[in-house]
């Protein structure tokens, strides 16, 4: 099945109307019907159930559609890779990353990279760590920035930095003033956590298990800024990377008057073993990267080495 065949079949499968598919493909309806008939005879099965003028994918058709869609994606990726190789200064890098990296790490990396490769553009996508890993495995994204390191097979990893973790508490909390604290010391307090599936949730659960602690989760969020805000409002305590919130750690609301802004939570470094999170770049080990993707991947390695002081 060639690329053109894939296009007409996937279009027909998605619309499930011969007339509408023919119109979108700019071919005659009888021609499209003959193309479908030839394909079904070659396969020896019908791919659609016919009900008058309406057609519906059957079990055979759904199997064929899934394979056709993946094949089309591979052909599109191959075409993009060839174009990038032919003109390595151009191209698009599809990058997935955690929400918490959208306020500093991703803008910093992309901004520095674009100063030397302005003709390479980026398609950005944010979500939890499980989504980032899935994106790079199924080809939705070329690269991902994630923490902690994914445990699923088939993913390449390059460490970028290691962040210290801290207990976040309200400004009037009993532990304010301590230089360090252990997670077990907040056993009886309400905890603000990330939703399941997010990297910080997995890290906190691992730390809690090591401390033989069962957290009393009061609120769950999909972003660390919200966790910080809920802690600052006195609704519980949480665990945050020291770096993500910046020096002040204060969430800001556009247009808010100074008296309407909550002070940031107080961050107290955690003394628990392993109270860090590794942040890294990930990609599918089974896919050949485009020229643009290779350039950005190499850039991130240089960036990480400069950050660690490696010449």
Last residue of a domain, one of 64, 85, 106: 85
Claim to verify: residue 10 and residue 152 sit in the same structural domain: no
Size (the chain), residues: 311
CATH of the domain at 110: 3.40.190.10
Q: What is the pLDDT of residue 103?
A: 86
| CATH number for 78 | 1.10.10.10
Residue 115's contacts (CB-CB under 8 Å, 6 or more residues apart) are none
**pLDDT on residue 80:** 67
User: What pLDDT score does 87 carry?
Assistant: 60
Task: Give the domain range for residue 20.
Answer: 3-85
* DSSP secondary structure, 161-225, as one string: EEEEEEEEE-TT-TTTT-S-B-GGGGTTSEEEEEPTTSHHHHHHHHHHHHTT---EEEEEESSHH
Q: What is the pLDDT of residue 54?
A: 82
CA distance 193 to 65: 40
Which of these, 116, 117, 237, lies nearest to 188 by C-alpha position? 237
Tokens of 129: 């760590």
Same domain flag for 231 and 243: yes
In eight-state DSSP terms, residue 258 is G
Both 181 and 268 in one domain: the answer is: yes
237-280 pLDDT per residue, tens = 999 998 754 433 444 333 444 444 557 899 999 999 999 999 99
| pLDDT tens track, the chain, 311 positions | 455 568 899 889 888 889 888 898 889 999 999 999 999 999 999 999 988 778 999 999 999 998 988 888 788 777 766 766 566 567 899 999 998 899 889 999 999 999 988 789 999 999 999 999 999 999 999 999 999 999 899 999 999 999 999 999 999 999 999 999 999 999 999 999 999 988 899 999 999 999 999 999 999 998 898 999 999 999 999 999 987 544 334 443 334 444 445 578 999 999 999 999 999 999 999 888 888 899 999 999 999 988 877 55
User: Given 85, 107, 141, which residue is the final one in a domain?
Assistant: 85
**Domain identity same for 173 and 145:** no
176 with 113, same domain? Answer: no
- The answer to whether the bond into 66 is cis (omega within 30° of 0) is no
Residue 226 shares a structural domain with residue 187: yes
Whether residues 35 and 172 fall in one domain: no
pLDDT, residue 139, reads: 93
User: Does 271 lie in the same domain as 229?
Assistant: yes
Claim to verify: residue 180 and residue 247 sit in the same structural domain:
yes
- Is residue 184 domain-shared with residue 122, that is, in the same domain? no
For the segment 46-86, what is each residue's pLDDT rounded down to a tens digit?
A: 999 988 778 999 999 999 998 988 888 788 777 766 766 56
Q: How many domains does the chain have?
A: 3
Same domain, 126 and 204: no
């Amino acid at each position: 099945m060639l690329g053109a065949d894939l296009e007409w079949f996937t279009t027909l499968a998605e619309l499930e109307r011969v007339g509408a598919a023919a119109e979108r493909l700019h071919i005659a309806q009888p021609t499209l019907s003959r193309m479908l008939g030839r394909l079904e005879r070659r396969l020896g099965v019908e791919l659609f159930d016919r009900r008058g003028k309406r057609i519906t994918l059957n079990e055979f058709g759904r199997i064929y559609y899934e394979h056709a869609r993946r094949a089309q994606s591979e052909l599109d990726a191959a075409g993009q890779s060839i174009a990038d190789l032919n003109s390595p200064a151009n191209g698009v890098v599809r990058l997935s990353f955690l929400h918490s990296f959208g306020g500093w790490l991703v803008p910093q990396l992309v901004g520095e990279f674009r100063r030397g490769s302005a003709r390479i553009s980026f398609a950005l996508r944010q979500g939890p760590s499980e989504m980032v890993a899935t994106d790079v495995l199924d080809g939705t994204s070329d690269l991902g920035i994630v923490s902690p390191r994914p445990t699923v097979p088939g993913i390449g990893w390059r460490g970028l930095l290691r962040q210290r973790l801290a207990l976040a508490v309200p400004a009037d909390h009993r532990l304010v003033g301590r230089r360090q604290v252990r997670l077990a010391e907040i056993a009886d307090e309400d905890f603000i956590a990330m939703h399941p599936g997010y990297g910080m949730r997995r890290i906190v659960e691992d730390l809690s298990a090591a401390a033989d602690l069962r957290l009393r989760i009061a609120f769950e969020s999909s972003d660390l800024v919200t966790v910080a805000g809920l802690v600052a409002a006195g609704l519980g305590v949480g665990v945050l990377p020291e770096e993500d919130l910046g020096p002040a750690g204060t969430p800001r609301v556009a247009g808010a008057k100074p008296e309407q802004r909550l002070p940031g939570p107080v961050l107290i470094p955690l003394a628990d073993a392993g109270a860090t999170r590794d942040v890294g770049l990930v990609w599918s080990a089974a896919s050949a990267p485009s020229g643009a993707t290779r350039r950005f991947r190499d850039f991130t390695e240089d960036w990480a080495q400069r950050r660690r002081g490696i010449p």
